[in-house]
Amino acid sequence: MKILVCISHVPDTTSKINFTDGDSKFDTNGVNFVINPNDEFGLTRAMWFKEKQGASVDVVNVGSAQTEPTLRKALAIGADNAIRVDTPATDGFQVAKQLAKVAKEGEYDLIIAGRESIDYNGGMVPGMLAAILDANFVNNCISLEIEGDKATAIREIDGGKETLTASLPLVIGGQKGLVEESDLKIPNMRGIMQARKKPLNVVAAEEVSTQTEAVKFEKPAPKGDVKLVDPENLDELIDLLHNEAKAI
């Protein structure tokens, strides 16, 4: 089985969110980038398929050279090869098109992406990729088993879950549950050393027109201070929630 894991290069959760160029671009100054958490759950599940079922695992990112440390980290975790499509990511459709080209050429059986990236939260790349490839698609995937060319997946739905079956090739939008947080692997020194020698192929991007354009960013108005209510006077809390917040 050939697995492709799509890796988004995102600011870590504790990053300060600021914008530059007239609020049109994310300010990467001083920001620490990591593998998108939803992708890391998928990558770790892919490692399980590698160890238990002899799968090969490639990782791919659409981005400039700045994303390479993130791909190296995926290699250190255990991926076999990395591919970087050499173009900045502009919108979900453009990324999906670039990924589709890599996926087609590599003839992958299973493509794992995260349900959304934690920066732009678009949640559209996995589905668009599946539609472009005409492959089966399961979103919000919290469990995945593969037997031969048959996949059994569990999808989280609002208020429960759903069990789905599909044949490969399959694209999933994965999330926590594929593996647990405690299963995530911190690369060890050997992994890091090996990752330096593993192939990281830079491929030219396709000409793709975008469908959406981020015009500008804005930060929410600063929140006022919390109103503290005396624990002996909980009627005040109810009054505030009813009359001020109109929440109950």
Partner 1 sequence: MSVLVYTETEDGKFKKAAFEVASYAKEVAGGDEVVAVSFNAADTSELGQYGVSKVLNIQNDKLSKFNAEAYADALKQAAEKEGSKIVVVSQSANSKYLAPLLAVHLNAGYASNVMAAPESTDPFTVKRSAFTNKAFNFTKITTDVKIVGLSQNAFGLRENQGDAIVEDFSPELKDGDFSVNVESVDKAKDKVTIADAEIVVSGGRGLKGPENWGMIEEMADILGAATACSKPVSDMGWRPHSEHVGQTGKPVASNLYIAVGISGAIQHLAGINAAKTKVVINNDPEAPFFKAADYGVVGDAFEIVPKLNEKLKEFKAKNA
Q: Which residues inside 50-79 make contact with partner 1, applying CB under 8 A?
A: none
Q: What is the rounded distance in angstroms from the CA atom of residue 233 to the CA atom of residue 228?
A: 11
Give the residue from 36, 30, 79, 31 showing the smallest Cα distance to 59: 79
Per-residue binding string, partner 1, 14-43, x by CB under 8 A, is: x--x-x-----------------xx--x--
Task: Give the nearer residue to partner 1 in terms of CB position, either 127 or 195.
Answer: 127
Which residues inside 122-151 make contact with partner 1, applying CB under 8 A?
122-128, 130-132, 136-140, 142
Nearest Cα residue to 156 out of 171, 144, 145: 144
Cα 150 from chain centroid (whole Å): 24
- What distance in Å separates the CA atoms of residue 27 and residue 36, rounded to the nearest whole number? 18
Please report how close the Cβ of residue 53 comes to partner 1 at its closest, in angstroms.
21
- The binder of partner 1 chosen from 65, 189, 204, 245 (CB under 8 A): 245
Extract the tokens encoding 104.
């087609």
Q: How far apart are CA 186 and CA 192, in angstroms?
A: 10
Q: How many residues bind partner 1 (CB under 8 A)?
A: 81
The alpha carbons of the chain give a radius of gyration, in whole angstroms, of: 21
Residues 209-228 that bind partner 1 (CB under 8 A): 210-220, 223-224, 226-228
Query: Taking the complex as a whole, how short is the minimal distance between the CB of residue 233 and partner 1, in angstroms?
Result: 9
DSSP tag of 115 = S
Query: Of these, 166, 168, 200, 203, which contacts partner 1 (CB under 8 A)?
Result: 166
- Residue 176 within binding range of partner 1, rule CB under 8 A: yes
Nearer Cβ to partner 1, position 189 or 248? 248
